[in-house]
Amino acid sequence: MNPPRRIAVAGASGRMGRMLIEAVIASPDCVLVGALERPGSPALGQDAAAFLGQASGIVIADELGGGLAAADVLIDFTRPEATLEHVRACGERGVQLVIGTTGFDAAGKAAIAAAAERIAIVMSPNMSVGVNVVLKLIADAARALREGYDIEIIEAHHRHKVDAPSGTALKMGEVIADALGRELARCAVYGREGMTGERDPQTIGFATLRGGDIVGDHTVLFAGIGERIEISHKASSRATYAQGSLRAARFLATRQSGLYGMSDVLAVAAH
């Protein structure tokens, strides 16, 4: 029997961090060994499982060395600047990473790719199994509907999300553009206002909605003449992201280095 995966969680007092901690504690093959928060967080010093009415024995800390000391892998759904600091610390300590953070610029992505030469990393804008199946479906649909269909990507998230479009929506755009032999940077339209003129059939449009407590809704619309096809995924709980993250952490147990996506974890080809 393989030893349990020793997991540390970044952003431990946030919505996603708490869902991850609950999933790790409930998992028979994972154990919580670290819980990290930003300096000054009111959660510092608290037991990581206090919100569950339990005592895990793991205290939420802001010191990376202590928080990562016993970890095999850090799961990080925070913000780009924090994640990049965690990437540096994990690279120095040989700790693997599961990254669900979105909103990285080109330099941030390059830093993560460089770290993956030393440690194994799974990075995905969406850890949901269902979303990664949808990526396969929309690639197939894009190839079949390449002529005569306009493509729009609509996403909705809670009011607290700070980046737009979502990382998942951008990934959908990249998958579709790749399937069509286009570059997303050249064909993406991120907003429309005023006299825009007729729609360019070569573009891929994005629409972003923010409000309430929406966990995450994504729809790809293929609009033709006389018909339209919609491929949607709607998340009702962050639990789906947490379970996908644990699958990623298990996947890394047999990897020494490299940058992987959820298509590797799930063996689902995205294109």
Mind telling me the catalytic residues?
A: 157, 161
Distance (Å, whole) CA 30 – CA 191: 43
Q: What is the DSSP string of 98-158?
A: EE------HHHHHHHHHHTTTSEEEE-S---HHHHHHHHHHHHHHHHT-SS-EEEEEEEE-
Please give the biggest Cα pair distance in the chain: 64
Q: What are 205's strand-pairing partners?
A: 152, 189
Q: What is the CA radius of gyration of the chain?
A: 20
- Residue 161 phi, psi dihedral angles, 5° rounding: -70, 135
The kind and range of the H/E element at 230 are strand 228-235
The burial of 50, by beta-carbon neighbours within 10 Å (0-12 exposed, 13-18 middle, 19 or more buried), is given as middle
